[in-house]
Structure 1
Amino acid sequence: MDDVSESQTRWTFFTSHARVLAAIAEDREARIRDIAERCRLTERAVQRIISDLERDGYLSHTRRGRSNTYRIEPGRALRHPAETGVTVASVLSLLLRDEPDRRAPHTGKGHAQG
Structure 2
Amino acid sequence: MLGLGELELKVMDVLWTSGEPMRVRDVLERLGGERAYTTVMTVLDHLHGKGWVSREMSGRAYSYRPVRSREEAGASLLREVLDSSGDAESVLLHFARSVSDRESELLRRALERDS
Q: Which category describes the TM-score, using the shorter chain as reference length?
A: 0.3 to 0.5
Greater C-alpha radius of gyration: 2
Structure with the larger helix share:
2
TM-score where L is the length of structure 2? 0.47
